Structure 1
Amino acid sequence: MELLNKDTEAKTSSSGTFIVSEGGRGDRRVKRSTVIVACMTLTVLLAAAIAALVLYYRPQGDATSDSAAARFCEWPREAPEPDKCYQKPDSFGYKVSSGKIDDDQRDSEVKLRFSTELVAPPFSDVIENVTVHVTKLSDNILRIKIHDSDRSRYEVPVQNHFPLLQQQHSAENAAYTVEQETTPKGYFSFVVKRKDTGAVILDTSVGNTIMADQLLQFVTKLATKNVYGFGENPHTSYRHKFNSTTWPMFSRDEGPDEPPKNVYGVQPFWMCLENDGKAHGVLLLNSNAMEYTFHPEQILQLVSIGGILDFFVVVGDGPNHVVELYTDLIGKPFLPPYWALGFQLSRYGYNSTENLTKVVDRNCAANIPQDVQHIDIDYMDERIDFTINPVDFAGLQKTLSQYTAKGLRIVTIFDPAIIGNRTAYETYKRGFDKDVYIKWPSDVTNENRSNPWNDDVTMDVMYGQVWPPGPVAFPDFFKSATTEWWEREIAEFLKSLTFHGIWIDMNEPADFSANMFIPTLCDKKREDDDECWRLRCPFNKYDDPPYRTAAATLYNGEKNRLRDKTICMVAVQGDQNQYRHYDVHSLYGWSQSVATHKYKLFTFLFFSYKELI
């Protein structure tokens, strides 16, 4: 992967390739509901002879000569391979230009400017001027926001829902201190400590900070190796292992596979248990593709390919207290209805009302308790939302009403993707008229868009392929009109089918166009066409970022793109098209859950019952 642009490469001859890990790709699909909260791999090795954390680097050209590449490199005595080296430690970063972190103030900030001893940094589009803003939100919660001083960048909109940010709280008796420091060569760093014990929570002096347009890196020393959290990835233990394995975070429609692959959700929060039993947690509020790596030297390396570095440090008395404080910050989880804690039955493949009835009745006859019955997409007509298969699931409403009268609760599924080539499908038409779907950006011309042959493309809708047999549009839940449309469609469907809870699925969001062929989903203009229509993404900085995150490469090697198994990263979202899907991809499920919950709050859908989503 080239991390320098071509102009820089021509001037310095110091371009190179970072080595990223590869893995086999899982083939199985596991359907499951996920609500995504708030979302990159730089494989690193540590040289024992080098004190600071350094990046594993493969220079191009004659790296052994007195070239820029050679001056960038430092070879340990026992290099893993002769053509690989380590980036020199403490060789670039940010130096103070004005201001200072003042631990006596509620708010303080320091202005920094990029500096390097290298001919050129190992990445392009450096953010030259950076601001570090420190805010004491409360006695137990500290915010450290690192951002571009000169121009605004994408910031995670989820924070607009954080209760703690809605009003000011006292921080006169803070449980933490923040100290500004410098490295031996004068680069800025900071340390966050627990005030009563002096335990170090964050210490950024151990690695170079990177702030570039599509590559952010943050490296810190940790208090102990008793670290939990992050994900969603398959693990063999709850406690993290400090073995330099890099774990990606980027929502993906993939069942649990082998470590360290990323799957459905994104949780950029970690908790550390200190030596005396006290604990703290840290949230990195970033929703771009990310990676985290724990190194043997008790070091955590975080990498993101967009946004800003926005940390919330939660200092508690123990793990339970940290969770309490964390939910004070982001909001408490909704208490589910009592019946949702009971015995539930769910599967795909009942295939008919008759089979569903047999299963429920058989359980009842065997005195097996059941409180909730889920129905998957096979109840739909051609797997299309807000429809019922009139043949196989004839009489479904009557059957469910009978079970409801006996106390059984029903949970039905809704996928976000809406089929677009059915002339009589009113759900799609109403959404199209209200402009609720994710769009192609204006800077991608029609010639570079892969539009289906039989859908209306006048509104710039980006179509994809999921379960319905034809091109589908993806609702943009960052639009206010989409929430209103979604509420109406649920309300209309409730007139046709009894249900008490909603299962939202496939909201990574999933798209099959990139790497799956399902014959029943094939959409051709003519039967003799050579291939089916599918969504293809043009080459661009969002679908093909300069840093090759493992969120893509772990599944299908170096040639894989970031949009693998989802829609194009170049897509735009929001009422003003202010978001790129590149930035908000891992927030799609969260945004859908907010829209779904709003419907139930304002229409009293469940008749005084607590909601279940």
Structure 2
Amino acid sequence: MFSIRWLCLVGAVLLHGLEVRSQSTTFSKNVSSCAGYSLQSLQESSTGLVARLSLAGAPCNAFGNDFNNLTLQVTYETETRLRVRIADSGNQQFTIPDSVISRPPPPSSFTQSSDLVFNHESSPFAFWITRRSNPNAAPLFDTRLSSLPKTPIAPVIAGDDSTALDGFPLVFEDQYLQLTSSLPLDTNIYGLGEVVASSGFRRNVVSDGGSIQLCGRVMPEIPRPEHVRFYLEHRFNESTQEAQTHGVFLFSSSGGDIMLLTPPDSTQSLIQYRMIGGVLDFYFFSGPSPQAVIEQYGALVGLPSWLPSWAFGFHLCRWGYVSVNDTMAQVAGMREANPS
């Protein structure tokens, strides 16, 4: 399994570059004038499709310089896994090396047998993912402007203008990427890092939604404060709709935020990805059970190594050792017990 610490390190480097550049460059810091992209030159294949996305208007340069041309790649990798990748056509943005996660080409075609279906609009470009087995159900992921709440929306965090929602176009700049999907109102969604929520593991999108920072951190406080991230950080979530579960994974090492919320008086919730670099490389997993989604996610990123029994338990916690003698006594006790 790839290292989350490595991902956070790369994200920190990108964030440093963003801070240095922003000192000498002025950007609008508002995406309301961003025109999005138009789809052109679509070519279908036995494994999916490739298309060119062209900037649909003048560059808005909200938080960086807009790329004029992007490449869209859609790959039906298995019957339960669909990849949607949006990257700059010149390959200037950082991408995670193939050595981190092995991604061999599909051994056969799954375009007609996959339970996940990629749908799109050309101008402005938007896409949505549906189930072949239940085509009339609400989409699993939907970036169409017609499916999203009206904007502008006041800052989610009072006093923090950066958490305002000015618009939902696809934004692809050298130091800012934005993509938004609608969600069913108060949907059942889990994941997006390690956090304690008032509703348990489930994210309460209506009352406890907000900004989720994409980087783990040490959290020594006991009990854990609610809605504050700690330790683990995965850009992965699973959601249940109509008794079927699916998963969404953003394969990116860049820092950023995820806005997960329900705007006031809205009939729908939303998830917005805000990244400070890299590309938009999404994987969708069809499940349909929660266990199946996790298995499909593990098949992609890799499974953890088998751990020795002595490594389990709170007795190896990093906290509570007040002297070297305490540590030596712990080691001696472990040797005496001789666990396998």
Scaled to the shorter chain, the TM-score interval is 0.7 to 0.9
Q: 2:106 aligns with which of 157, 168, 180?
A: 168
Match of 1:87 in 2: 32
**Contact conserved, 1:216 with 1:305, CA < 8 A, in 2?**
yes
Structure in which a larger fraction of residues adopt strand: 2
Whole-angstrom distance in 1 between the partners of 2:105 and 2:217: 35
Match of 1:245 in 2: 210
Structure 1 residues 181, 319: closer, same or farther in 2, change over 3 A? Answer: same
One-letter code aligned to 1:137: E
Moved more, 188-197 or 252-261: 252-261
State the Cα deviation string for residues 264-286 of structure 1 (Å, max 9, x = none). 332100101111x2111011011
**Contact conserved, 1:107 with 1:134, CA < 8 A, in 2?**
yes
Q: 2:190 aligns with which of 218, 221, 228?
A: 228
State the Cα deviation string for residues 30-66 of structure 1 (Å, max 9, x = none). xxxx9647559xxxxxxxxxxxxxxxxxxxxxxxxxx
Aligned: 1:135 with 2:75: yes
Structure 1 residues 233, 288: closer, same or farther in 2, change over 3 A? Answer: farther
Secondary structure of 1:87's aligned partner? coil
Aligned: 1:122 with 2:62: yes
State the Cα deviation string for residues 288-339 of structure 1 (Å, max 9, x = none). 1121112322211110001000001111121000011111111112221234
Superposition deviation, residue 105 in structure 1: 3.3
Q: 1:112 aligns with which of 53, 56, 71?
A: 53
**Contact conserved, 1:37 with 1:265, CA < 8 A, in 2?**
no
Higher RCO (C-alpha 8 Å, min separation 6)? 2
Whole-angstrom distance in 1 between the partners of 2:90 and 2:191: 34
One-letter code aligned to 2:239: C
Structure 1 residues 171, 223: closer, same or farther in 2, change over 3 A? Answer: farther
Q: 1:197 aligns with which of 109, 134, 137?
A: 134
How large is the Cα RMSD of the aligned pairs?
A: 3.1
One-letter code aligned to 2:202: R
Secondary structure of 1:320's aligned partner? helix
Match of 2:292 in 1: 321
State the Cα deviation string for residues 161-211 of structure 1 (Å, max 9, x = none). 435x145344432111111214xxx30111111110123111111331110
Structure 1 residues 171, 333: closer, same or farther in 2, change over 3 A? Answer: farther
Secondary structure of 1:344's aligned partner? helix
Superposition deviation, residue 119 in structure 1: 8.3
Q: 2:41 aligns with which of 88, 98, 110?
A: 98
Match of 2:24 in 1: none
Match of 1:12 in 2: none
Match of 1:336 in 2: 307
Aligned: 1:290 with 2:256: yes
Match of 1:304 in 2: 275
**Contact conserved, 1:201 with 1:223, CA < 8 A, in 2?**
no
Superposition deviation, residue 348 in structure 1: 3.8
Secondary structure of 1:302's aligned partner? strand
Secondary structure of 1:272's aligned partner? strand
Structure 1: gaps spanning 5 or more residues: 1-33, 41-68, 74-85, 361-372, 375-399, 410-608
One-letter code aligned to 2:337: G
**Contact conserved, 1:36 with 1:266, CA < 8 A, in 2?**
no
Secondary structure of 2:55's aligned partner? strand
Moved more, 209-218 or 142-151: 142-151
Structure 1 residues 343, 305: closer, same or farther in 2, change over 3 A? Answer: closer
Superposition deviation, residue 228 in structure 1: 0.6
Q: 2:179 aligns with which of 210, 218, 227?
A: 218
Q: 1:268 aligns with which of 235, 239, 261?
A: 235
State the Cα deviation string for residues 532-556 of structure 1 (Å, max 9, x = none). xxxxxxxxxxxxxxxxxxxxxxxxx
Structure 2: gaps spanning 5 or more residues: 12-27, 146-167, 263-267
Superposition deviation, residue 145 in structure 1: 0.7
Structure 1 residues 133, 341: closer, same or farther in 2, change over 3 A? Answer: same
One-letter code aligned to 2:190: Y
Whole-angstrom distance in 2 between the partners of 1:201 and 1:258: 31
TM-score, length basis structure 2 = 0.72
Whole-angstrom distance in 1 between the partners of 2:251 and 2:259: 17
Whole-angstrom distance in 1 between the partners of 2:288 and 2:89: 35
**Contact conserved, 2:46 with 2:109, CA < 8 A, in 1?**
no
**Contact conserved, 2:4 with 2:233, CA < 8 A, in 1?**
no
Whole-angstrom distance in 2 between the partners of 1:292 and 1:203: 16
One-letter code aligned to 1:196: S
**Contact conserved, 2:244 with 2:289, CA < 8 A, in 1?**
yes
One-letter code aligned to 1:235: A
Secondary structure of 2:202's aligned partner? coil
Secondary structure of 2:197's aligned partner? coil
Q: How many residues align?
A: 282
One-letter code aligned to 1:314: F
Whole-angstrom distance in 2 between the partners of 1:133 and 1:247: 27
Structure 1 residues 336, 97: closer, same or farther in 2, change over 3 A? Answer: same
| % same residue | 23
Match of 1:407 in 2: 337
Structure 1 residues 232, 328: closer, same or farther in 2, change over 3 A? Answer: same
Whole-angstrom distance in 1 between the partners of 2:226 and 2:302: 30
Secondary structure of 1:323's aligned partner? helix
Superposition deviation, residue 233 in structure 1: 4.1
Whole-angstrom distance in 1 between the partners of 2:174 and 2:314: 49
Secondary structure of 1:174's aligned partner? coil
**Contact conserved, 2:251 with 2:282, CA < 8 A, in 1?**
yes
